[in-house]
Structures are given as C-alpha cells and as structure tokens.
Amino acid sequence: MLNKALQDIMNDQIKHELYSSYLYLSMAAYFEGNNLLGSAHWMRVQAEEEKGHALKFFDFIYDRGGRVTLQAIDAPPADFKSALDVFQSALAHEQKVTGLINAIYALAVQEKDYASQSFLKWFVDEQVEEEKSASLVVEQLKMVGDHKGTLFMLDKELGKRE
C-alpha cells in the first residue's frame, strides 16, 4: 500500500509531467510558427514522452492501492526569443524536474518504500538522459550562432528524432 505522503507527491508529479507535455507542445507551436519543422517534431516527440511519464505515475499509484487526484495545469509560456532560448528553457525545465524526481525518491527512501524506490529508479535514470539531450542541442545551437543555413541543417537533424 502506498502511504499518503508518497501518494500526494506522486499526484503532484503527475501534474508536473502533464505540464511538461504542455510546455513542449507550446515550444513545438513556437517552432511551427517559425518554420522550424524539425525542431517542432523534436518537441512533439518530447511532449508525448512526458505524457507517458505522467501515465506511469498514474498507473503506479493505482498498482499500489492509492488514488489519483488530478490537479490544474498552469499555462506554459508561448513566447520565446529564439531556438536557443527555447532549448535553454527546456534544459532548465528538465533540471527542475530532476529536482522533483529526486525529492520523491528521497521521500521513498525516508519511508523505506522499496517498491517506490525501484519504480523511481527508472525516472532518475531518465532524467540523466533528458538533461543530456536538451544540453546537447543547446550546445549545438550555441555553435551555430546566427548562421541560418547551419540552423536549417540542425533543424533537419532534429526532425529525425523517433
């Protein structure tokens, strides 16, 4: 049985994961509006991934005899300065999510909830990948600078994400 403290923090995490999905859709909309369709695709894939993360928490709560309580999701920002700004925002967001996952894991350790620790290990590992992925694009965009042709080539590459 999932204790109330873990149930509550995991319900909060569902909200954060759904917000992440919403945020990445907003970023995809920015890219669509700026004809960077590869980057838009990258963000749409990311949005779907985040929705999947929310559902993992949803299912885990019920698997452990808990109750899911969905919460309101804030509107994400819609205006960005550049592709670099978008990906820097994505990286900062993933760093925030890493902190949230770590806090849930710390509570699971404190509560000696080994099933939750096992479940959360996947998310701890996933956040390493999430931060690395966003950081790589940030660094590539910094290298590209204001070179439109190179940005176009990078955009094409980002569109290959599966």
Q: What pLDDT does residue 146 have?
A: 79
3-state secondary structure of 36: coil
3-state secondary structure of 131: helix
pLDDT average, residue stretch 115-130: 98
What's the rounded Cα separation, in Å, for the pair 108 and 10?
11
pLDDT average, residue stretch 18-32: 98
- Asked if residue 122 lies in contact with residue 59, where contact means CB atoms within 8 angstroms, the answer is no
CATH number of the domain encompassing residue 32: 1.20.1260.10
Q: What pLDDT does residue 70 have?
A: 98
What's the rounded Cα separation, in Å, for the pair 70 and 124?
23
Kindly state the DSSP code that residue 74 receives in the 8-state scheme.
P
Residues in CB range of 33: below 8 A, 6 or more apart: none
Residues in CB range of 23: below 8 A, 6 or more apart: 76, 77, 90, 93
Res 14 pLDDT > 90: yes
- Share the mean pLDDT of the chain: 97
Q: Which of 67-76, 117-126, 131-140, 144-153 has the lowest average pLDDT?
A: 144-153
What's the rounded Cα separation, in Å, for the pair 153 and 142?
14
First-to-last C-alpha distance (Å) of the chain: 36
Beta strands (DSSP E) in the chain are none
State pLDDT tens for residues 64-93: 999 999 999 999 999 999 999 999 999 999
Res 41 pLDDT > 90: yes
Residues in CB range of 76: below 8 A, 6 or more apart: 19, 22, 23, 25, 26
Q: What pLDDT does residue 148 have?
A: 87
* Of 102 and 146, more confident: 102
Going by pLDDT thresholds of 50, 70 and 90, the confidence category of residue 147 is confident
What residues make up the domain containing 96? 4-71+80-158
Q: How many distinct structural domains can be found in the chain?
A: 1
